[in-house]
Amino acid sequence: MNGALRREPLAGAFGVLCLVASVVAAVELGDVPQLGDALVVSFVAAFAVAVIVGEWFHISAPGFRGAAPIAMAAAFGLALATELPGGVHLSYGAPFVLAVTAVSIALGTTVRVAARRDTSLVDTAGRFVAILVVALVYRCGVMAQPADSPLRVMTAVPWQQAVLLLAICLLALVADALFTSLLRGLSVGVDVRRTFVAEFRSSFALSTAIAVTGVLISLAAPPLGIAALPLFLIPLVLTLFAFRRYVSIRATYLQSIRTLSRLTDAAGYTPSGHSERVAALAVRVGRELGLSERELLDLEYAALLHDIGQVALVEPIPGGATVLAAPADQRRIEADTVAIVRETGVFEEAARILEHQTTPYRQVRELGEEIPLTSRIVKVANAYEDLTAGARSLRAREAAVERIYLGLGYEYDPRVVDALLKSLDDAANPD
């Protein structure tokens, strides 16, 4: 949902709780830096500004987790830095780091919401959890150890310190992915492990870059001071612009797929806009079922192309409604669709989804056949659109749902049908 705050269960309340709790903790503990030292104050202020700016330049795209790499790297640098030029020691603790980053994240998020930019409270809360882990593990764990403890000894050897800090940052980023996966998975009752694996894979490369940048900033702070912040953030800024260019190319790519999907409309095989309606509905259902961004993108591609095999028919199916065709005809259209999609050489995952778009759900229940959840979503979304013929009246909806219920558990996955009904209710009652 562009230009709006995403309504994600539990995330808003949890995120606000984290922000308020961290500020209260800092105030209660009186944990503030040496405010009389202008160098320390300017150092902290620079990092706070970097976090705010980084939240504004949030990046997201279909198939990838939302991220704020500049904000995360700056926050990691603030949490891990212990010294400035001239031997100035940064004595602040974890509560102060959390307070500064929490307020900065809150300000950055508020500005995005005010500007009606897409904002995910789940991703925002996840970033705060990562910063929480870094601050607690390093400031309260490592730095609180006696000077002769193994961990403190490691911080005295440059390469060992770098390895230790990198390990802490990577642990924090794993905690971020796990936290967001738990929120998304538990809120919709899906497999949290599968969601976590998808989240982690989609963000691994960028997470590694963030972790390395945060470590470099902290290690360069003693000789360079504030200058370390812009110096090591420049590569991330360049990466951000490159990513946005990539997103623009992907948008053009998706538009090309949409144009291809309209071939059956132009040839008179399907009603105008049928594939786009199926794709939009399938993505909404997929979100209800907690699919990852990568899975949602593949699902959208498959749904847009699900009827392309109809161009091989000699006579069009009345109304293009494949759900009303004989099973043998459905399988033939499915085979032609998969063949055409595979011929492109770039939509292999979409082809795998489409291979099972007509397979009855009973083959999962009775025969234990592996049918991707995305295939079952396409099947239900297409059936609903075929049965309503694009109509949005209550009567058309009830008739379509009644027909789908006749095949519940046999043709259609009950869990997918439940998600379909919920997505239809949400669309009918947006408030």
Do 311 and 243 fall into the same domain? Answer: no
Query: pLDDT tens digit string along 372-382?
Result: 899 999 999 99
Do 130 and 52 fall into the same domain? Answer: yes
Do 84 and 218 fall into the same domain? Answer: yes
pLDDT at 157 over 70: yes
Do 148 and 116 fall into the same domain? Answer: yes
Give the per-residue pLDDT at 13. Answer: 45
Query: pLDDT tens digit string along 295-305?
Result: 888 899 899 98
The residues facing 119 across adjacent strands are 5
Q: Could you tell me if 123 and 59 are in contact, meaning their C-beta atoms sit under 8 angstroms apart?
A: no
Do 174 and 230 fall into the same domain? Answer: yes
The total of structural domains in the chain comes to: 2
Q: Does residue 6 belong to any structural domain of this protein? A: no
Give the per-residue pLDDT at 168. Answer: 93
Do 46 and 175 fall into the same domain? Answer: yes
Instruction: Indicate the residue among 249, 271, 302 that finishes a domain.
Output: 249
pLDDT, mean over the chain: 81
Instruction: Indicate the residue among 206, 221, 249 that finishes a domain.
Output: 249
Q: Does residue 3 belong to any structural domain of this protein? A: no
Q: How confident is the model at residue 217 (pLDDT cuts 50, 70, 90)?
A: very high
| Dist CA 36 CA 137 (whole Å) | 28
Do 353 and 269 fall into the same domain? Answer: yes
Mean pLDDT check: name the lowest of 140-149, 181-190, 207-216, 252-261. 181-190
**What's 353's domain CATH number?**
1.10.3210.10
Q: Could you tell me if 263 and 310 are in contact, meaning their C-beta atoms sit under 8 angstroms apart?
A: no
pLDDT at 409 over 70: yes
Do 135 and 282 fall into the same domain? Answer: no
Q: Of 305, 311, 155, 295, whose CA–CA distance to 218 is shortest?
A: 155
Do 240 and 275 fall into the same domain? Answer: no
Q: Does residue 4 belong to any structural domain of this protein? A: no
Q: Does residue 419 belong to any structural domain of this protein? A: yes
Domain that holds residue 419: 262-428
Query: pLDDT tens digit string along 283-292?
Result: 999 888 878 7
Q: Does residue 204 belong to any structural domain of this protein? A: yes
Query: pLDDT tens digit string along 78-97?
Result: 999 988 888 888 888 888 88
Do 286 and 329 fall into the same domain? Answer: yes
Q: Does residue 256 belong to any structural domain of this protein? A: no
pLDDT at 169 over 70: yes
Q: Does residue 183 belong to any structural domain of this protein? A: yes
Instruction: Indicate the residue among 223, 249, 275 that finishes a domain.
Output: 249
Q: How confident is the model at residue 188 (pLDDT cuts 50, 70, 90)?
A: low
Q: Does residue 5 belong to any structural domain of this protein? A: no
Do 234 and 279 fall into the same domain? Answer: no
Do 230 and 328 fall into the same domain? Answer: no
